[in-house]
Amino acid sequence: MVTPVAKPAPCREGNVNVQPIGSIHAEGCPIFVEERVLEQILDFSETDTEREIGGFLLGGLYEDGRPFVEVRRFVAAKSTRSDAASLVFTHDTWRDLHHRVATEFPDDVILGWHHTHPNFGIFLSGYDLFIHRNFFSSPWQVAMVVDPVRCEFSFFQWRGDEVMDCGFYCIRDENG
Ligand SMILES: [Zn+2]
């Protein structure tokens, strides 16, 4: 059980480094993503346009009146099985992820997961929803789908019992 840490949300008025992208839903847990991590995820997604690849989103779980998440790190999934339109996280995938978080990133929370849909668009399939419901069931956990061929992507979040596509806040690097 992960407990949110109290911290002011980065979207407070006057922060010019925070940019909303897409439709932010009032009832969804706000998602903040560091721009350099977003670029890293998109670059990684383009490394294979033939088969699905994926990874995990790490960062912080905070609370400012209500919970919000900050994505600060991406780790590629190891030991997956995949083809053009499917991706399976194996026992070794989960073991590697939990080992890396425990040893390299002990302060990080597993905020969600990412995978690609090369040239078949942005949505969560029945199997994707199965993964999300079983492994990312906390109300603040998110999914991200990238189509590296069509150059599209979206986040997905829990809204009630449904997992819906959603916008996010991009945190730009203050040093440019
Ligand atoms: Zn999928």
Rounded to the nearest angstrom, the distance between the alpha carbon of 118 and the centre of ligand 1 is 10
Rounded to the nearest angstrom, the distance between the alpha carbon of 65 and the centre of ligand 1 is 33
Residue 2 is predicted with a pLDDT of 87
CATH code of 54's domain: 3.40.140.10
Give a yes or no: residue 51 inside a domain. yes
Which residue segment(s) compose the domain that 127 sits in?
31-171
Regions of the chain where pLDDT drops below 70: 13-14, 175-176
Count: domains in the chain: 1
Residue 16 is predicted with a pLDDT of 79
Rounded to the nearest angstrom, the distance between the alpha carbon of 52 and the centre of ligand 1 is 8
Give a yes or no: residue 6 inside a domain. no
Spatial contact of 10 and 40, defined as CB atoms under 8 Å apart: no
Give a yes or no: residue 15 inside a domain. no
pLDDT digits (tens, 9 = 90+) for 96-129: 999 999 999 999 999 999 999 999 999 999 999 9
Residues lying with their CB under 5 A of ligand 1, a single-atom ion: 125, 128
Rounded to the nearest angstrom, the distance between the alpha carbon of 174 and the centre of ligand 1 is 33
Rounded to the nearest angstrom, the distance between the alpha carbon of 116 and the centre of ligand 1 is 7
User: Environment class of residue 91 by beta-carbon count within 10 Å: exposed (0-12), middle (13-18) or buried (19+)?
Assistant: exposed
